[in-house]
Structure 1
């Protein structure tokens, strides 16, 4: 069996689950389409904990995503395929998606870039961040907009990018300087607000 046949067969197996277990389709649609908003919310909340180590983690995750996206775009120049629903018949397409190059999966790159980076920095229970990354990749196949190879390539690119960033970026003076400059200006904004709140509390 060729890689192409294996890719299509695996896609059929996963995508056909939506025909067999229709009650799971709303959950898969939600994960495929809207989990990105929960990721964004989680990242913002984590960033504003104002812990320097945590902020370094989030900063590196963002760098990983940019790095992985660039590599993904380059990979897309060497190999391209449209979404399964545009190339195959009888696909269980559950969400709307424009036809373009689906290799590699941008959603997978986004989630694995952040989730894997978080795990690399924190370990312990932070491995739970890997679960949504896998769920998003799996759901994109389930709803018919990506092949398994699109998702696998996105995950591999993100893991490699995350490993490189984890080993290099935190050690750079420029990184520490950028975070320091940001925190300096953040304090200029937050301090007046904090003082204003304290003054109002005393007046009451």
Structure 2
């Protein structure tokens, strides 16, 4: 059995689960399509805590995603394939998706970039973010829009990018200096606003 056949067979194994365990289809659809909005909200909340460690974590995650996405696009030029539902018969396709190059999975790159960065930065129970990234990757296969190889390569690129970014960015003086400049600018903008609100509430 060659790699292509293994990739297809593994896809069939995971995707066909949706035909047998239909009660899991709705959660998988939500995870595959809408969990990205939950992640965006979480990232925003981390940033708004104004905690320096959280903000460096978000910076690392964002840079990881950018670098991983660039590498992913290069990988997509070297090898490409359409989504399984466009190439195979009787695919359990559960969400709408345009036909294009699905290698590697951008969705997987996004989640692994942020989730693994969170884990590397915090450690401990934050490994749950890594588990979430894996579930998202599996969900993309479950709903029929990616092959396992699309997901595995996207995950590999992201994990490698996260390790390198985490090893470099937090140690750079430039990162801390840039964040300090941002914090001062933020305080400069928000301070008059808070004073205005306070004065207005007193007058009312």
- Work out the CA distance in 2 between the residues paired with 1:124 and 1:118: 11
- Work out the CA distance in 1 between the residues paired with 2:127 and 2:190: 32
1:7 equivalent in alignment to 2:40: no
Relative to the length of structure 2, the TM-score reads 0.96
Which residue in the other structure is 2:121 paired with? Answer: 121
Which residue in the other structure is 1:92 paired with? Answer: 92
Structure 1: gaps of 5 or more residues: none
- Work out the CA distance in 1 between the residues paired with 2:101 and 2:178: 35
Encode CA deviations 1:13-56: one digit per residue, 9 max, x unaligned: 00001111111111111111100000000000011110111110
1:110 equivalent in alignment to 2:101: no
Which residue in the other structure is 1:40 paired with? Answer: 40
1:20 equivalent in alignment to 2:20: yes
CA RMSD of aligned residues (A): 1.2
Which residue in the other structure is 1:143 paired with? Answer: 143
Shift of 1:180: 1.8
Provide the secondary structure at the position in 2 that maps to 1:97.
Answer: coil
Which residue in the other structure is 2:193 paired with? Answer: 193
- Work out the CA distance in 1 between the residues paired with 2:90 and 2:26: 19
Structure 2: gaps of 5 or more residues: none
Aligned pair count?
A: 204
Shift of 1:75: 0.6
Which residue in the other structure is 1:171 paired with? Answer: 171
